[in-house]
Amino acid sequence: MTVHKFVLPMFVLSLMTVACEEKKAADAEATSGTPAAAEAAPAVPASEAAAQAADANGVAAPAVQEAVLPGPQEVCVALTEAAKAKDESKILAASTPATATAFAAEGAKDHIVAILAGATCGTFTIDGDSATVALGTSEPIKQATFSKAADGWKFDGAAFLAKYPVAVVKEKAKKAAAKVQHKASGHGKKHH
């Protein structure tokens, strides 16, 4: 009986050791990036994975930094640089989709690019998912509006155009109105 009492616990201990080694091997395979492990392991954000690795090993893993997106002022600086270079693709890349639509209006693109090319980005104010950046320091100061998107802050050209409409369109409208008024008053007719 004494052998039986000794062998049974050793047998159970051996089984537990084998089971632990198999679990460790499965865990190692899951973190090694093999295709079978990738399918079996649930997706874990990098910051959580680092924390889990630190907990499992008892050693602090290096912190994974998430990408820090540039703020509205940095986007404004990139936008003004793109405007100075007259690089429409960079301007639109730093802008909301509504900006491309706003650029389609007569004279709008040239108007916005001219203002941005001559501007310097000043102080900014953030209010939730919206921000304004002062363009320049001389009066009157224009304010560029930025909207927060999933991929960072974007210039809202449509809002900018609504605040600061194209002067060319206003001048054309004044000239057209003056022409119509001139004809209506009889001054437009030739007298013999």
> Rounded to whole angstroms, how far apart are CA atoms 192 and 188?
13
Concatenate the DSSP letters of all residues of 63-111 into one string. PPPPPPPP-HHHHHHHHHHHHHTT-HHHHHHTB-HHHHHHHTSTTHHHH
Q: For the chain, 192 residues long, give each residue's pLDDT as a single digit of tens.
A: 555 565 555 555 555 565 557 667 666 665 555 444 444 444 545 555 555 555 555 555 555 566 788 999 999 999 999 999 999 999 999 999 999 999 999 999 999 999 999 999 999 999 999 999 999 867 788 999 999 999 999 999 999 999 999 875 455 556 666 665 656 566 555 555
What's the number of domains the chain is made of?
2
Q: Residue 39 belongs to what domain range?
A: 2-57
Task: Read off the pTM.
Answer: 0.54
Distance CA 77, CA 116 (A): 9
Residue 10 lies in a domain: yes
Whether residue 85 sits in one domain with residue 53: no
Instruction: Tell whether 81 is covered by a domain.
Output: yes
176 in a structural domain:
no
DSSP for residue 179? H
Q: Measuring CA to CA, which residue among 118, 106, 102 is closest to residue 157? A: 102
Say whether both 100 and 153 belong to one domain.
Answer: yes
Looking at residue 14, the DSSP 8-state letter turns out to be H
**Domain match, 84 and 129 both:** yes
